[in-house]
Structure 1
């Protein structure tokens, strides 16, 4: 999933500042900056000091010039020079303190935002992560958050400083000569026109650049995860081609963005040159004319003041150009917050329920996509304390049933109950704590085997972890590897070793409901027999639900459901189903013949 903030460029020019931009900025202010208002006033005060330093510098410069041109007193000149030096010492101190303080404030604000983003991500449904690439999530939480931190902590504070300098120095210049300043002010409409012209283009290019970067990061993540397949299939040239094309696209967008931004400063410089010529010519005339109370020192100080105004004004235009890019980034981050979970604890949920009771699916309707329903009025019952198996062809919905039981997905109709309590009326944390899961999709972290087992119960004792490892036939490997990391996603382990870590987790968690999703699919027959004996010990007194492709692994089940096309087509014990000579019997015989060959 890409950011996709602008899917195509609108023929109509977008506004420089939209209602959505206003909402996003106000959200950031109220959420992360408003609480720092006292410190922000401190920063503003230091910025104003910097602006007044420039104003006083102009005044002292004018006085110094008069000393040189008129009185010629050396002591007056020394006094002016000393005061100028002290002023710039003060400005230097402010120039050091302002960025230090502002970066600290911005970094703290973005730290809080990142933590809130992580908290929000963890509340979202599994469906969100199934439709969103890791690259897009990383882009928002890492890259875009960092860009926003830099913009708020440095660019925005510098812009406030520049704006204060422009206002303070301009006020002084207006005081000295309103006519000359109004002549210089003709630049303002031109700058506004330039900004309006480039802002839409910058937003459009920035949005496409964010999309391209998200896709690029997602592609790298897919390549890294699928490197085994890439190597075996010899598709390195194809992956190289995809990534090179993506990097070329990012480069082209970066160049286009820089080209759009580069239009601003030369335009401002050209207009500024016209203003300087007009002020020099007009100011010179006013000095020569007896109708105006201006002298050479005043005109020189006025020109110096214009230089001090135009430089921060140029920086301000750059800030507003960069603002367009960062509004796109802020919208990307805010769009993540607009993602709302559909699975959450509603009012009146209970924490206590009987996890040993029967589990019933009654008239359950569910679909991943509205145009492709999976279950339509599905009915199943899993008796408490007994073993129930679910079998069927690929795509029949076996694993989905397990996901519905633990509320990884929301059903569209019907109900799922444990005992007499609907699962959507049970607190999610309490419901899921009742399940131990061994899945074919095993998540292994890049840490030791010991830490991977302990992950499901951080408070477990060493003795409990060793017992779980022994039961899952993984203890010997722990002794061999020690604290060595297992590589990304357990890349240094075999499929069977990864599966035994998952089984050890189930032993350690030892919840009252045991879900086994192809739990022995990666084990050889000899190891499978050992694990099956361990599972029999683990399942004693527990409600066990097994999803299996290998039917020999579920012949001991108390009850077996056969799913096909999202419907229960057969049910009963192994003996009953074999006697019925239906789909289950055919699958079982076919597998036995296949294994026999």
Structure 2
């Protein structure tokens, strides 16, 4: 059975479908302003056509009628026409730019809001530079496509129609001859479109790779410097840039292949018009005004005709970027809005994992029917080797990922049946890799509770042992922290993170190796702040340094996604099991600090 031929509308991201979507979904909201711009374009097109017609009048008044008064009159009319064209062109340019800016801003908002509705798993499969490329190039491409369409119809097509009318009025035969240029030009352009689409997609991918290398090199500049990777990263971005440059050169060659044909065909048409027009003036007594008017209209029509001939190439190039944007916006959110679900209502903040299983990849389980209870107001510690599933426990509790089997309950309410926002509002999280936004110290603490007062921020900083070092900065709480908090030490970043969590005042506290990367002095200060944070709250803590959780109410030893031991510190040591082995191993490798030299 033969397969039915594909229609032009079958591909949801084909040129026809995309153009229809952009017009109906994006441009339709601004149809009144587009109509005004279109009207101004019509005035400018009429003025362009009128100027060609008026030139013939002036020529005839000067060389045929020799009427000085007529020359003055038509010259003034020409001035008015050109002034009108200038005003109309200015007006439509401003209107189109304002519409472009509005659509660009709207698409940037849509893209960002869509990304905020995606899960952690969605981002783990892609590089962040891809989204930057889609956000910038994609949003710009949408406005470029719409501007190409409105300019092609309102400016170029109307101008061409008006100038063709002038040509037909002056000499129908020469006008018909001039229009014979169009079919061969359209045939050549059609052949180039498919090639241009492929090159445009390669260009987009190449630019994304440049962004990726640039972003990784700058964000990992410490590693780059420490391992002398400057030349390696420079070679990598040189290769990316060279590939993009080569592709851009191909694009330039392909997209401009129509120009030689258009110029040659235009040259033939102009030469023929000159010969035929000159013959009519000399041999048949036609007025020179008709000849000059026709020739002017023909030459003025050449540029809009050339732009219309290239329209398909430029549209398909722009539609590649539009597709990159819409593919993300159209995809179903991996973390769909669940604000319609009931809010989490806490009484004790008792957390229960009931036979919870989870895997990031098929056939590679991370948690295997894990069950445990974190009692309200107490500290539950998760310890064990890396890769055992400890951090996954916190991720599932925050619903950064969804449980695949089993159930997580808080005060008897399944976390899957309540809204994510209400769940996360009841939790405070501090991780090993603290993320601080490029803002002030005050703003980063205040993110824990939007609208917090100055007194609340300061109180949280004091409780987190951060107030003293903050006030040691010349700008105090107004001190910028730099990108990712690069202007602060590791211990300072951690204490600001604890202050942020304290300000949140949530009944459930999640700590993911919050002191693992700190020196002993910083660890002591951060641990003191964490003790204040955990006091009276249901706390689940992941610990690498076991001495930091010796006082925990319950210690769970996690291996291969299962809890192999559970109890308090002293009980687990007496059992001489896995926990005792971990603890003794750390004690054996711990090197006590040498006492300071009193004479130093």
Q: TM-score, normalised by structure 1?
A: 0.91
* SS of residue matched to 2:64: helix
Q: Is the 8 A contact 2:498 2:533 kept in 1?
A: no
**5+ unaligned residues in a row in structure 2: which ranges?**
1-5, 593-600
The one of 251, 255, 258 equivalent to 1:261 is: 255
- CA distances 1:207-237 after superposition (whole Å, capped 9, x unpaired): 1111111111111111111111111111111
The one of 97, 108, 111 equivalent to 1:114 is: 108
Aligned partners of 1:314, 1:439: CA distance in 2, in Å?
Answer: 60
Q: Is the 8 A contact 2:340 2:419 kept in 1?
A: no
Aligned partners of 1:363, 1:402: CA distance in 2, in Å?
Answer: 15
* SS of residue matched to 1:457: coil
Does the alignment pair 1:74 with 2:68?
yes
Aligned partners of 2:337, 2:409: CA distance in 1, in Å?
Answer: 16
User: 1:184-199, aligned counterparts within 5 Å?
Assistant: 184-199=178-193
Aligned partners of 1:93, 1:165: CA distance in 2, in Å?
Answer: 16
Alignment: residue pair count: 583
Q: Is the 8 A contact 2:111 2:329 kept in 1?
A: yes
User: 1:81-92, aligned counterparts within 5 Å?
Assistant: 81-92=75-86
1:342 is matched with: 334
- Kindly state the Cα deviation for residue 103 of structure 1 after the two structures are TM-superposed: 0.5
* SS of residue matched to 1:142: helix
Change (3 A) 1:17 1:319: farther
Q: Is the 8 A contact 2:429 2:510 kept in 1?
A: yes
- Kindly state the Cα deviation for residue 69 of structure 1 after the two structures are TM-superposed: 4.2
1:415 is matched with: 407
* SS of residue matched to 1:575: helix
**5+ unaligned residues in a row in structure 1: which ranges?**
1-12
1:490 is matched with: 485
- Kindly state the Cα deviation for residue 85 of structure 1 after the two structures are TM-superposed: 1.6
1:552 is matched with: 547
Aligned partners of 1:527, 1:211: CA distance in 2, in Å?
Answer: 44
Aligned partners of 1:355, 1:312: CA distance in 2, in Å?
Answer: 72
- CA distances 1:287-307 after superposition (whole Å, capped 9, x unpaired): 6777xx965432332222111
Q: Is the 8 A contact 1:465 1:508 kept in 2?
A: yes
The one of 368, 372, 381 equivalent to 1:376 is: 368
2:309 is matched with: 317
Does the alignment pair 1:475 with 2:470?
no
2:596 is matched with: none
199-208 or 533-542, larger mean C-alpha shift:
533-542
Change (3 A) 1:252 1:555: same
2:451 is matched with: 459
Does the alignment pair 1:587 with 2:587?
no
* SS of residue matched to 1:71: coil
* SS of residue matched to 1:394: coil
Aligned partners of 1:437, 1:419: CA distance in 2, in Å?
Answer: 19
The one of 88, 91, 107 equivalent to 1:94 is: 88
* SS of residue matched to 2:406: strand
- Kindly state the Cα deviation for residue 264 of structure 1 after the two structures are TM-superposed: 1.9
Q: TM-score, normalised by structure 2?
A: 0.91
Aligned partners of 1:534, 1:71: CA distance in 2, in Å?
Answer: 99
* SS of residue matched to 1:410: coil
Aligned partners of 1:54, 1:517: CA distance in 2, in Å?
Answer: 70
Q: Is the 8 A contact 1:355 1:512 kept in 2?
A: no
Aligned partners of 1:147, 1:580: CA distance in 2, in Å?
Answer: 66
Aligned partners of 1:16, 1:267: CA distance in 2, in Å?
Answer: 31
* SS of residue matched to 2:500: helix
Change (3 A) 1:212 1:99: same
Change (3 A) 1:68 1:466: closer
